[in-house]
A = this chain, B = another copy of it.
Amino acid sequence: MSVSRFAGSEPRVGVWLIGARGSVATTVIAGCAAMTAGLHASTGMVTETPLFAGSGLPPLSSLVFGGHDTADCPLPKRAEALAAGGVLPHGLPSAITSELTAADREIAPGGPLPGDTREPADLIDTFAVDIRDFVRRHDLARAVVVNVASTEPTTTGSALSPSSLYAAAALRAGCPYVNFTPSTGLHHPSLAPLAAASGLPYAGRDGKTGQTLLRSVLGPMFTQRALTVRAWSGTNLLGGGDGAALADPAAAAAKNAGKERVLADTLGATPEGETHIDDVPALGDWKTAWDHITFDGFLGIRMTLQTTWQGCDSALAAPLILDLVRLTTRAHEAGLTGPLSDLGFYFKDPVGDGPSSLGEQYRALTGFAERLRDLQRTERPRDSQGEEAETR
């Protein structure tokens, strides 16, 4: 896999990250810089595989990063902490300090923090202005807004949660929107008509990085083999900010809803068993997920499968986010609108209708790549300059 390194005359594309100083965002920004500089291969990025050759995706070198966050820790310092925790390769942060510093300068204050008395409408305005200003200052062809902030507790009231304020700001600023978390975002009832009217493409919800990724291939395996799953239990141990955020039962409930939906969808029934998320600070940004599956085989003979997944969520999420940035901005460019249901491959709880087995989701993604390729062929004769730059 080769990483497209030079933008040439390629138009530049903005990536506006909600939670821009978190582990995931820092890994996204550092990883893009590392690949653009030729320091690392594009492991984990599906859009760098031959599947997407000729689909007209923006090169990584054309991406410009900014975002909102309520935290203060500068990106270079955050990156050093991630390297110490094994999330980023040692030595990487110092090699790309200038890129991190540049992105850090583009991070505007998020909100609302406790005590902030601004009205929701004012916050949406402010956020939208921040995004538009970013696009204008960098002369960007377009920008996508991606939510990678900590999971919000599920709420029942009608008020807009912060994730929905940011989603509304994205619409206001005319940007495609990706929700990589289980937070509400665009899923708030009051935002649905705005999303529909905006003519913007959007994608989500809740990135499928580890335990649920596994479940989306193991669930179909049992179903295809006509083996009856009786119980599916899981325990996730993780530290870092995510562990602390998910120690809140309401936030964990939001997260687990997606995990269990994948099981129900691929198995055709909800098996017995619970899924726990424990905050274990000693594990830092690394996650261990244990699943225990009890199933009936022939004549009801009971059998068991256990899986133990030890991964780093930020490192699993980051390449998927870069994929989604490229796919969503290309969709925007190509005039696609509404829920991008072909991107279910990336999510626990995909927008639109689509299959829930990873294999079928991969086929849908393959179809999406072909569609983009076809569009590329028809649209680019008018724009041969870009075409050449892209395939150079």
Q: Identify the A interface with B (CB < 8 A).
A: 1, 27, 30-31, 34, 40-46, 48-49, 84, 86-90, 92, 213-214, 217-218, 220-221, 224-228, 230-231, 233, 235, 237, 272-274, 276, 278, 280-283, 288, 290, 292, 294, 296-312, 315-316, 318-319, 345, 357-360, 362
| Selected A-B contacts with CB under 8 Å, 9 pairs | A1-B226, A27-B298, A44-B298, A86-B86, A89-B299, A280-B294, A282-B302, A288-B304, A297-B312
Q: Which one of B89, B224, B294 contacts A301 once the chains associate, using CB atoms below 8 Å? A: B89
Q: Are A217 and B221 in contact (CB under 8 A)?
A: yes
CB-CB under 8 A from A305, the residues of chain B are: 214, 307-310
CB-CB under 8 A from A306, the residues of chain B are: 290, 307-308, 310
Closest to A235 in B: B235
Cα of A220 to Cα of B162 in the assembled complex, Å: 38
CB-CB under 8 A from A213, the residues of chain B are: 221, 225
Q: Nearest Cβ distance between residue A179 and chain B, in whole angstroms?
A: 20
Q: Nearest Cβ distance between residue A357 and chain B, in whole angstroms?
A: 7
Q: Are A237 and B233 in contact (CB under 8 A)?
A: yes
**Given the contacts A84-B90, A237-B233, A300 and B48 also touching, CB distance less than 8 Å:** no
Q: Nearest Cβ distance between residue A27 and chain B, in whole angstroms?
A: 7
Q: Are A227 and B43 in contact (CB under 8 A)?
A: yes
Q: Which one of B30, B297, B307 contacts A307 once the chains associate, using CB atoms below 8 Å? A: B307
Cα of A278 to Cα of B41 in the assembled complex, Å: 28
Cα of A233 to Cα of B213 in the assembled complex, Å: 21
Q: Is the interface of A mostly helix, strand, loop or mixed?
A: mixed
Cα of A306 to Cα of B297 in the assembled complex, Å: 22
Q: Which one of B225, B300, B316, B359 contacts A40 once the chains associate, using CB atoms below 8 Å? A: B300
Closest to A228 in B: B43
Cα of A308 to Cα of B303 in the assembled complex, Å: 11
**Given the contacts A221-B217, A292-B290, A308-B306, A298 and B316 also touching, CB distance less than 8 Å:** yes
Q: Which 9 A-B pairs have the closest CB atoms?
A: A359-B359, A230-B282, A303-B311, A44-B298, A231-B282, A298-B315, A306-B308, A301-B315, A235-B235
Q: Are A280 and B290 in contact (CB under 8 A)?
A: no
Q: Are B310 and A303 in contact (CB under 8 A)?
A: yes
Q: Which of A30, A43, A274, A360 has the most CB of B within 10 A?
A: A43
Q: Are A221 and B310 in contact (CB under 8 A)?
A: no
Q: Nearest Cβ distance between residue A266 and chain B, in whole angstroms?
A: 11
Q: Are B226 and A300 in contact (CB under 8 A)?
A: no
